[in-house]
Structure 1
């Protein structure tokens, strides 16, 4: 389907691409077996096959671009075009900022287009040598009416791991934008001289200072206001200057994800959206750049996001969208939620689709989401294709699409209105297109997917996101209760035995349904003795059913004690023969082996006991 809609228009090229795509599964399996056998796998470029057909067939040891080439000249040219369009079409107040989401996977595909986009908004451009390597940055001249926009960069954990050089580049770009008004700030705000010097210290020998007005340089204007506020709150001049200059943020070193997707899946673990925003701010509130590599900086992060008016998320690939993965709402949705929580108003969110570099388009997030929802997830042709794949297709419908729609619901409630849930119910539960979807979702293990679908919709109602009418509430509640009574709880974060939704649900059920549901929920709860948590090894009660194993452990201990005494006697005897000394050395090695064996046996039994407790707890869920 993707090839038909996005592939080449000529018949010959289309046939060639189709043949390469069809050869890819076999090539993938062959490469997997080759790798498992420790043999050589041929390298090849890795990218979106629609955007870069040279990546076909897949199954090769793919490689990406050298990070020292990023952003490339081609990416810079496209990023400049996108930035020009953003300045022209998406107005922004002078006191407000822009925030970007940067992903590593997109950099692999587009050579750093979104990095270039952010640099141009700051009024800073890369410099390359003759080999195309990025060697530094240069300030652009900015005239009145074409201000430097203040930009906050939010990055993924993988971006941090793969593109540390670019983190430093972005941090330096923000400081260079501030430096463009250095003389003006020192002259007009002498009390900020020390904070400014400390903020710009990472630039070291960079002397490209300037006298730009704060009307032209929004980075500098915001720094002045924020530094003043921090000083007024008692922050030291050195700290205030640096904190007000932070613009690059991400996860703590070694961690990944904004945390919103995990909270979305565990809807019973939170009550208000403020709790979700707090998770996002804590996880991504780490500053990167200079000596501050992954340093916690939640206060600075909150200060920057409170001023954000526009956010941008780039899409460099045809392989994924906004509703077929949980990363989009984790980062962009989480960013929007955090800004809304801090400022009281959701920002204007934009999606830049540059999967076709020759025809990029910028859309409001609301429009992009609706288009994807209707063209794919509410499209009968797409649903029929999924039904062919049995449980895998059902799981894509429920455990993925429903979960991701729910993620956008809780992060951007105005984007997923009642109309969306009404339409989803009509298609997936009521079989609006008469595809046999209702029957399909109750076949075999598919029924657990359907039960979870119903649970998500009921949670949306229970938490007040979906204002469903009484008939809809009763219909969904009844079907959910009947499926649970017959097949049990589906085992998701929306159906935990202690989930508030299950209590709220009681009023929508008949007495018989309430009783049946209560029985299943009661049986799903772990028994008190199974809920014990083990904190230290001494709390373990070692139970070894095999008496021979116990005897063997005791025998090893006894032999170890005897052999140790024997070693001491041999060692202290001045008349020991060479043969005895050799025997002593042999005994030492043997006893070390026995001691290691003993410790291994104890650890094995301890591990088995821990697993037994864990399995007992899991078995009732």
Structure 2
């Protein structure tokens, strides 16, 4: 195997170097006509990016701007994900919301949807009827709309190529070609997404309404079936027919106008909750506002609950290589709060799937695996710990934030195993040398870390042994006495 890989690398280097020098490569190096054609297209694209990377208009652009002359605009972004942004030196804009989803993002979104459906089918033996999706603004501007592509594929819709248009055109995929039912989607969007993508909200709302009216059976169109169910319940609650029709087809929920978050993080951060249902209640209260199809932030917790009763899985994309799901409280706030709200309404736990799109290959996994990878690469990694403790005060504070996030993930997903808290205790508390380092760095943050471990035991997320609990309690009392002496 190693020998074959070395031969492939040798052929690859030969092809690339030959193309850079001559814009040609030896066709006999590749077996089939299709592979030669694909290779040529890839090399041509790569060569174009390579040549643009050798150019820069920075100095020229600066002088033009200082002279009060027009400086042409161009898309900014990651040169690896989008080499077309080169050469640099233009008047930059972050993204064009009118072009969301971009073609590649739509294709990757399709892969995310297929991966998630396959994961669910393997676990439960049937297709999900409805999915819960979290829409982040920064994420979709970074990926150019991968989550939108995911939503479209659940619905059985594809983006058509259109020249000279600033608005995507959508095409219905026939059920026979799709090979499965159209899956319903319930969306929670952040306040930032609401503000920068009003056109996408309008497009999705229109798609929901039209897909609900297709001449298809309920078995082939879960969105249509759920829309009918919700319409009948709204009518029974006294809604007028026109309003019930609009609300039954609405699928986008978010915070009220001017709001940008939920109370879930503050409840967890301040330990101001008794039962997990309190987190679900706070989440629903804060995201109950309907957008699209005649509504702009209309509160309707009852409508949201009707949708949550049908959700089979919750899905979110992780597109930032720098952040694991344990690194940011927004992860447990959004997909965690969503899954807990579904669990409370349905009376059963809901699977959560995280799709990692940071690399070329899209990988979808159960949130349990995402959490455990974050734990191993972060809070249990000696190099990561040493790197943080090089920063006075701030280092231990950053570790504390991961402890809090793990409590939030445990409460909202119930996918943080007891062994994780045992390892945290062993790594940071039972190890006297490490505990001394943390105390010197920030004794107050260390004190809060111990409180979080005690909380995890009290709430039942950590089944601490008698020795573990005794050792933690002794260290806690010792540190508390030390803090009081300093004060």
SS of 2:187's equivalent in the other structure is strand
Structure 1 position 455, deviation (Å)? 0.8
Q: Which has the larger radius of gyration?
A: 1
Name the residue aligned to 1:403: 404
Which of 193, 204, 210 aligns to 1:170? It is 204
Which of 162, 185, 188 aligns to 1:151? It is 185
Q: Deviations 1:546-570 (Å, cap 9, x if unpaired)?
A: xxxxxxxxxxxxxxxxxxxxxxxxx
Q: Does 1:261 align with 2:294?
A: no
Q: Does 1:337 align with 2:340?
A: yes
Name the residue aligned to 2:471: 475
Q: Deviations 1:433-492 (Å, cap 9, x if unpaired)?
A: x8x321111115x1011000001111222223322233322322232233223325xxxx
Structure 1 position 338, deviation (Å)? 0.6
Structure 1 position 176, deviation (Å)? 1.6
Q: State the TM-score, normalized to the length of structure 2.
A: 0.78
Q: Does 1:418 align with 2:409?
A: no
Written as runs of structure 1 = structure 2, the 5 A alignment for 1:481-560 is 481-488=477-484
Written as runs of structure 1 = structure 2, the 5 A alignment for 1:119-268 is 119-127=152-160, 129-131=162-164, 133-143=166-176, 145-180=179-214, 211-267=215-271
Name the residue aligned to 1:83: 113
SS of 2:292's equivalent in the other structure is coil
Written as runs of structure 1 = structure 2, the 5 A alignment for 1:58-97 is 63-91=93-121, 96-97=129-130
SS of 1:442's equivalent in the other structure is helix
| Separation (CA, whole Å) in 2 of partners of 1:385 and 1:225 | 54
Which of 434, 439, 445 aligns to 1:437? It is 434
Cα gap change, 1:66/1:243 in structure 2, threshold over 3 Å: closer, same or farther?
same
Gaps of 5+ in 2: 1-12, 14-70
| Separation (CA, whole Å) in 1 of partners of 2:330 and 2:465 | 32
Cα gap change, 1:304/1:134 in structure 2, threshold over 3 Å: closer, same or farther?
same
Cα gap change, 1:254/1:61 in structure 2, threshold over 3 Å: closer, same or farther?
farther
Name the residue aligned to 2:132: 99
Structure 1 position 94, deviation (Å)? 6.3
Structure 1 position 146, deviation (Å)? 1.8
Name the residue aligned to 2:428: 428
Q: Does 1:281 align with 2:314?
A: no
SS of 2:220's equivalent in the other structure is coil
Cα gap change, 1:55/1:341 in structure 2, threshold over 3 Å: closer, same or farther?
farther
Name the residue aligned to 2:363: 361
| Separation (CA, whole Å) in 2 of partners of 1:49 and 1:329 | 30
Q: Does the CA-based 8 Å contact 2:326-2:405 persist in structure 1?
A: yes
| Separation (CA, whole Å) in 1 of partners of 2:230 and 2:253 | 17
Tell me the C-alpha RMSD between the 2 structures.
Answer: 3.3
Structure 1 position 54, deviation (Å)? 9.2
| Separation (CA, whole Å) in 2 of partners of 1:327 and 1:61 | 32
Structure 1 position 45, deviation (Å)? 6.2
Q: State the TM-score, normalized to the length of structure 1.
A: 0.62
Gaps of 5+ in 1: 1-9, 11-40, 181-210, 489-515, 521-621
Q: Deviations 1:571-619 (Å, cap 9, x if unpaired)?
A: xxxxxxxxxxxxxxxxxxxxxxxxxxxxxxxxxxxxxxxxxxxxxxxxx
Cα gap change, 1:50/1:405 in structure 2, threshold over 3 Å: closer, same or farther?
farther
Q: Does the CA-based 8 Å contact 2:128-2:183 persist in structure 1?
A: no
SS of 1:351's equivalent in the other structure is strand
| Separation (CA, whole Å) in 1 of partners of 2:373 and 2:190 | 26
Name the residue aligned to 1:449: 445
Q: Deviations 1:33-64 (Å, cap 9, x if unpaired)?
A: xxxxxxxx9998665687568999x9x99631
Q: Deviations 1:487-514 (Å, cap 9, x if unpaired)?
A: 25xxxxxxxxxxxxxxxxxxxxxxxxxx
My pick for the range that moved more, 334-343 or 315-324, is 315-324
| Separation (CA, whole Å) in 2 of partners of 1:409 and 1:83 | 26
SS of 2:183's equivalent in the other structure is coil
Q: Does the CA-based 8 Å contact 1:248-1:288 persist in structure 2?
A: yes
| Separation (CA, whole Å) in 1 of partners of 2:92 and 2:462 | 44
Q: Does 1:118 align with 2:151?
A: yes
Structure 1 position 314, deviation (Å)? 0.7
Which of 387, 390, 396 aligns to 1:388? It is 390
SS of 2:293's equivalent in the other structure is coil
| Separation (CA, whole Å) in 1 of partners of 2:83 and 2:378 | 24
| Separation (CA, whole Å) in 1 of partners of 2:85 and 2:241 | 53
Cα gap change, 1:229/1:132 in structure 2, threshold over 3 Å: closer, same or farther?
same
Cα gap change, 1:470/1:290 in structure 2, threshold over 3 Å: closer, same or farther?
same
